[in-house]
Structure 1
Amino acid sequence: MNRTPDRTTRSRPGAEPAELAALRGWLRAKKTAALAAAKAAGAPANYQYLADRAYEVSRKSVCLLGEKDDYVVSACTLRQALDGRLPTRRTARAFALGAGADEATADRLWAAADLAVNPPPRRPAPHVPGAFTTPAGLVRAMDRVRVTAPRTSLRALAEKAGPALSRSTLHRILAGRQIPTAGQLAAFAAACDAGEAATAALLAGHRRILDGPDPPFPHPCAEAEWAAERRHRDEAARPWLAEPERDWYDQQLHDEQEEDYQRRIDEAEALLDELAADSHPAPAGPSPADSGLHAELAAIEAPARPAYDTWIGCPPAPDPPGPDQP
């Protein structure tokens, strides 16, 4: 047997913001009071009565205040304002006018409910540009800073920047057809809420673009002049590179080392002089001691002398022929 589903069973709505509930409760209370007053006066107590009254009050406001618009809403629109969804600001104002309530209060409650239902997106951290040196790099840096701004439209940025930067000028700058001035660039960064670091990076890159590229590498002659100048500076700085002054103990050790080193040099020179004198005897004739010393040295040196030393310059005499040779 088919069963008819229970129409009264509905899924529970999720938790709604308290601000939206406060707006709906305020509108419902004003609607109840207005319809009760209409019923007491013999008028139809329904939403169409609220819609007609909102239109009549808005028409009078047009005549008195010079407003360009009036509140033309339907009864269905006013009924949907209490179904749990956030109505539009215009509907909330029309509801307040039809119920004879304060329009400013309705506008304040609606703004709080709208902020709770539609919270602003979380803003990313401001972008800090790098070291750009070209106009195209400046445009790319400004585009990245603009992406992280709370409001990215050209109209919103121009309004926040003030008279220093118009919408058309900002369009030409971001299109790469115009290089901004430092004041315009600072106004753009302030409109984007870029922060001190991003503003300083943009202005530094702007100065690099205006200063132009670095000078070319110097010619060889200029390079030689630069090397000579560098050498003169190094020579002038050498006195600062001298050894520091020693205290009395370090100076004493240094002097002792110098004396020992000089003594060794003197002994080595004395020994070299003795050897030179022994190698070149006096022409008067060697003494018996010197003759004996030279004989011993010759006896020691002879076995170690190579065989070819005996005939270099004077070949050895041939052996006498044997008895069997002709």
Structure 2
Amino acid sequence: MGRRANPVPANTGPRLRALATALRRMKESSGLTYAELAKRSARRGEPKGAATLSQAAAGHRLPRLDTALAFARAAADPDDVPTQHRATQHVHTLWTRASVEHAAPLAAGGPPPAAQDGASRPKRTLANLALGLRRMRAQAGQPSLKALEGLSEAAGYRVPKSTVHLILAGRVLPTRDQLAALLTAVDSAAGSGRSVVRSRRKWMALRDFVESRASPAPLVRVTGYGCVDGSLDALLERRDRDEGILRKVGKFAEDEADEQDEYRLGVTSKPASWDVMDDEELAAWEQKALEADLAHRSGRDLLAELRPSADS
């Protein structure tokens, strides 16, 4: 015989108390210790530790459904199938009632956390999306994560129970397919003739808004000169590189470089003379330049003759 069990806590809800009391009576009827119940459940292929089974009957908190059912099957006569079936059905009913009691404060609704500070409307955040899903789950009778996984698969998109847990905890943002499947699963868990999902469109819109706020804004390259595409920076870098080369070979002219830089950067509105010449004018200008070069070699100064034609 094991030691005498502690009484169910006085602050335990009536439905959870009924579940804990039923499990304790099953254990007493079986005459087994928690260790022996654990061994029997392991032989049935659903291993549960002695401490886990003891906590399930303690009444401190709601046990998992699979733990409560494993407790009932282990405590029932393994050779009496009808008795096992009745025990599991009874425990399942008690657990469902206790889960509804456990979720009652959440299912009652009330203002979301974001609306308690005087705001006119709840903030559209991942936390409030998760809170709304948890409330709908509670209003549907607090179906287990495994049940939601199966119901979502029946809805056409399976959401693993581990993912359901993360979504309900507000730790991950569901995809559109996951949210649609979960909304259908919760409605299905509520039973025929009931609907706990008020507006699917609003829930999907909330999910899309949270995603849009979480997505990083597209990067825009802005240079120190305020040029978005960086062309000005490239021009200045190329100018500095060319200037360095010309200085090394001794062919850099300060006045000419400043004038050309001002034109390229759009500081001056007057273009260089050859930029407005057509092909014939440019050819004629080049011919005169060639003649000027020959005249220079021969001692004739034609520079004054070229300037009027170039500036016209």
Q: Between Structure 1 and Structure 2, whose CA radius of gyration is higher?
A: 1
TM-score with structure 1 length normalisation? 0.29
TM-score with structure 2 length normalisation? 0.30
Structure with the greater relative contact order (CA < 8 A, sep ≥ 6): 1 or 2? Answer: 1
